[in-house]
Amino acid sequence: MASFPFEIAAVDGQARTGTLKTSRGDIRTPAFMPVGTAATVKALYPDQVRQAGADILLGNTYHLMLRPGAERVKRLGGLHHFMRWDGPILTDSGGFQVWSLAGLRKMSEEGVAFKSHIDGSKHMLTPERSIEIQADLLGADISMQLDECTPFPCERDAAAKSMELSIRWGRRSKEAFGNRETQNLFGIVQGSVYPDLRQQSAEALIETDFDGYAVGGLAVGEGFEMMCNVLDVTTPHLPHERPRYLMGVGRPIDLVEAVARGIDMFDCVMPTRSGRHGQAWSDHGPFNLKNAQYAEDESPLNEAVNCPASRDYSKAYIHHLVRAGEYLGSMILSWHNVAYYEDLMARMRAAISEGRFDAFRAEFLARWEEGTGKRA
């Protein structure tokens, strides 16, 4: 095969639902990918990730190339075998994490030279090396092109130059990737907040011909409204028949609004990170189990979510665990949050299938506003 078959079962407005059929299993879209940075979705067993409803994980090239090392993962049978996850895995290119290493990195046309945050060792990430790590060594089902994440805010000229570099890196990534039987490669649209740059980026990527298209350069501080605006001017330029992936986003409301704008795939550390900080997510927004109001609250986190972490433990017990700094508090909250995110995706898929996504979205926004006191 070239591109994984992507069967769009229903379209409702801009929103779509379908199945991306990889050789390691089907991905039901819109899909949320829990983040397994260091070859583990933090504080969850792999079985629990699956049980929570995830079809696909994300792995971080930057972290894995430094520890345990991509060659070592290869010798140990590849990332799937290493971490005992037999479903599909998408890896990022490492570009975003390296870009975040302000002061420790040096960009050039060739790629990014950087120092490890773990031991200070020197490394070079090029489009070719990133593909080698992702596709050959880790064995990702979906690899991402190396790109430069444009900062926010960014002047138009700088945004254009950055976006053009990402286009050239995209071509080199594609060249290095070649044709593979059971692996795919996605390109990444950049262009900051400038509609014409986003369009130019999308058109150039389509010419390079990727298996799927990501929207990059968001979730970097631009805010909710700007994110929606960028999606409004970007997704219309992406091919209908290929999956669209919004990188690093976000809160539940962000997911709902991005699905409304035609996005099919997401990843975010939020459910696991906030779980480790005592926070649980819901349609009414986040709530912190540390708060005294939960000390004797016998209700579960959310009995509508089909997950032991959501259903079986009282808020009072989780409050106690969080206050006492117990592992189990982080474990239960992380598992619940992943399950809640996956449940939200399932509800969106059902709403799109049944042609009632607008109603679902309106009801969700009402609950969100009721719970948070804010529209978004």
Residues identified as active-site: 92, 267
CB of 107 to a copy of itself, least distance (A): 27
Interface characters, 161-200, with a copy of itself (x: CB under 8 A): ----------------------------------------
Strand bridging mode 184-189 / 142-144: parallel
Residue 313 or 340: which CB sits closer to a copy of itself?
313
CB of 317 to a copy of itself, least distance (A): 6
* Direct distance between the N- and C-terminal alpha carbons of the chain, in angstroms, rounded to an integer: 41
Contacts to a copy of itself from residues 25-64, by CB under 8 A: 38-40, 42-45, 47
Which span sits near a copy of itself by CB under 8 A: 6-14, 75-83, 108-116, 189-197? 75-83
**Residue from 312, 358, 363, 370 that binds a copy of itself (CB under 8 A)?**
312
Does 86 belong to an annotated binding site?
no
CB of 38 to a copy of itself, least distance (A): 5
Does 232 belong to an annotated binding site?
no
CB of 311 to a copy of itself, least distance (A): 11
User: How far apart, in whole angstroms, are the C-alpha atoms of residue 115 and residue 59?
Assistant: 20
Interior/surface letters 265-296, b for 16+ CB within 10 angstroms, e for the rest: bbbbbbbbebbbebbbbbbebbbebbeeebee
Which span sits near a copy of itself by CB under 8 A: 78-86, 107-115, 170-178, 366-374? 78-86
Give me the DSSP letters along 32-91: EEEB-TTSS-TT--HHHHHHTT-S-EEE-HHHHHHTT-HHHHHHTT-HHHHHT--S-EEE
Contacts to a copy of itself from residues 249-308, by CB under 8 A: 295-296, 298, 308
Does 96 belong to an annotated binding site?
yes
Interface characters, 315-344, with a copy of itself (x: CB under 8 A): -xx-xxx-xx-xxx-xx-------------
Any contact of residue 68 with a copy of itself (CB under 8 A)?
yes
Does 55 belong to an annotated binding site?
no
Does 217 belong to an annotated binding site?
yes
Q: Which residues pair with 265 in a beta bridge?
A: 31, 245
CB of 26 to a copy of itself, least distance (A): 24
User: How far apart, in whole angstroms, are the C-alpha atoms of residue 263 and residue 218?
Assistant: 13
Does 93 belong to an annotated binding site?
yes
Does 111 belong to an annotated binding site?
no
Residue 225 or 326: which CB sits closer to a copy of itself?
326
Q: Are 70 and 64 within 8 A, CB to CB?
A: yes
For residue 272, give every residue at least 6 positions away whose Cβ sits within 8 Å of its Cβ, in sequence order, or none. 34, 35, 41, 42, 43, 44, 334, 337, 338
**Residue from 4, 114, 287, 313 that binds a copy of itself (CB under 8 A)?**
313
User: How far apart, in whole angstroms, are the C-alpha atoms of residue 126 and residue 276?
Assistant: 34
**Residue from 3, 208, 229, 314 that binds a copy of itself (CB under 8 A)?**
314
Q: How many CA atoms lie within 13 A of 3 on its CB side?
A: 16
Residue 225 or 296: which CB sits closer to a copy of itself?
296
User: How far apart, in whole angstroms, are the C-alpha atoms of residue 355 and residue 85?
Assistant: 34
Residue 128 or 297: which CB sits closer to a copy of itself?
297
Any contact of residue 239 with a copy of itself (CB under 8 A)?
no
Does 32 belong to an annotated binding site?
no
User: How far apart, in whole angstroms, are the C-alpha atoms of residue 29 and residue 345?
Assistant: 8
User: How far apart, in whole angstroms, are the C-alpha atoms of residue 215 and residue 235?
Assistant: 8
Q: How many residues are listed for the chain in this entry?
A: 376
Q: Are 16 and 352 within 8 A, CB to CB?
A: yes
Token reading at 354:
């049944």
Which span sits near a copy of itself by CB under 8 A: 53-61, 72-80, 92-100, 349-357? 72-80
User: How far apart, in whole angstroms, are the C-alpha atoms of residue 366 and residue 297?
Assistant: 25
Q: Which residues are annotated as a binding site for substrate?
A: 92-96, 147, 190, 217
Give the footprint of a copy of itself on this chain (CB under 8 A).
38-40, 42-45, 47, 67-68, 72, 75-77, 82-84, 295-296, 298, 308, 312-314, 316-317, 319-321, 323-324, 326-328, 330-331
